[in-house]
Amino acid sequence: MRDADPALETLMLPLAEGRLAWPEGGALFLRARDGWPLHAAPRPGLVAEQSFRPDAQALEASGIALATPDDGRRFPLVMLLPPRQRDESRALMARAIASLAPGGRVLACVPNSEGARSAEQDLAAIAGPLETISKNKCRVFWTAPLDGPADPTLAARWLALDEVRTIGDTRFASRPGVFAWDRIDPASQLLAEHLPVDLSGRAADLGAGFGYLSVELLERCAGINTLHLYEAEARALELARRNLAPSASRAAIDFRWHDVTGGLPETYDIIVSNPPFHTQSRADRPDIGRRFIAVAAQALRPGGRMWLVANRHLPYESVLDASFGEVRTVAQRDGFKVIEAVKAMPARPERAPKPFDRTAARNAHR
């Protein structure tokens, strides 16, 4: 359980102070996170929805039921922690209203540093007047009882903001909120350009996103026969399934909703990665990238190769040197660096000398 989460604590404040009553029919919590404020009082009927694997696992571990997205249920209260990406946030607000039972309310909270005032204005635009509390450098706001959106046309337009679409003139499908959702990430593109054609065997893509690197790996390296995509964000992984569909006959492909920092269940000959280095709130977390590297080293077979791209300033060299036998910088451009790291082969044990045969030695001198 999280020790401190100001947004979650502030979200629950209207309920803790009695400004809102917990409804008998329970509540749906979109983009939910676990933490002590959820457990400070009984919350019967609470159902959470979370597509980010580490947060989903934490919710399950604390005993909170996870919902299936868009299962048709309606709730008297829908709570949400809107994401930073505004199109995704607006679509989530519209879906929150669509998930309400008649007379239900939407309750949301956003940190001031992540656009609280704009998010409040967005919810008011489709739901009507709100009540607001500011605390913990956050704003929590909630609607009056609703029987649908105050502006149905705007709500419908915002729901459509989260639809899957093609990135420019590429073949890749994407949607708001996933990493580099509206472009080909230049760091991943730099890595793809330098992947050698001789990569072969079993491969894994760590933090695969919508599947760009995986597609490039299969197209450039004919020797790859197995490819596992590991991604913590389920919304991105569903896009990867779509983007890899034309390659289904090319190799044995598997898609895994998985938190890489917890380790990998299998071993590989090749690992590619553009590892994350910040949290969902955009706070810098270079330790996540370092953990990706350490996990890759553990999962590679001796002689296996990791191809990695990262921002040039990120301090990955120490863990690379400690985890791999050979490390070299292959390319640097536009603030990024491409690195190849090869796992050391186990040292050959020295042969023990043969025992001295005195009889043979005597015969040799006769």
pLDDT in tens, the chain (366 residues): 446 899 999 999 999 999 999 999 999 999 999 999 999 999 999 999 999 999 999 999 999 999 876 678 899 999 999 999 999 999 999 999 999 999 999 999 999 999 999 999 999 999 999 999 999 999 999 999 999 999 999 999 999 999 999 999 999 999 999 999 999 999 999 999 999 999 999 999 999 999 999 999 999 999 999 999 999 999 999 999 999 999 999 999 999 999 999 999 999 999 999 998 766 555 568 899 999 999 999 999 999 999 999 999 888 999 999 999 999 999 999 999 999 999 998 866 656 555 645 554 444 444
What is the model's pTM?
0.90
Instruction: Answer for the pair 325, 343: CB distance below 8 angstroms, yes or no.
Output: yes
Q: Which residues pair with 132 in a beta bridge?
A: 141
* Domain 6-160 -> CATH class: alpha beta
The residues spanned by each domain of the chain are 6-160, 165-342
Q: Supply the pLDDT for residue 59.
A: 97
* Distance, CA of 255 to chain centre: 13
Structure tokens at 156: 């419908």
Neighbour tally for 336: CB within 10 Å: 20
* Distance, CA of 269 to chain centre: 24
Q: Supply the pLDDT for residue 362.
A: 47
For 66-99, how does the pLDDT look when each residue is reduced to its tens digit (9 = 90+)?
Answer: 987 667 889 999 999 999 999 999 999 999 999 9
Same fold, 6-160 and 165-342: yes
Cα–Cα distance between 307 and 271 in angstroms, integer?
Answer: 6
* Domain 165-342 -> CATH class: alpha beta
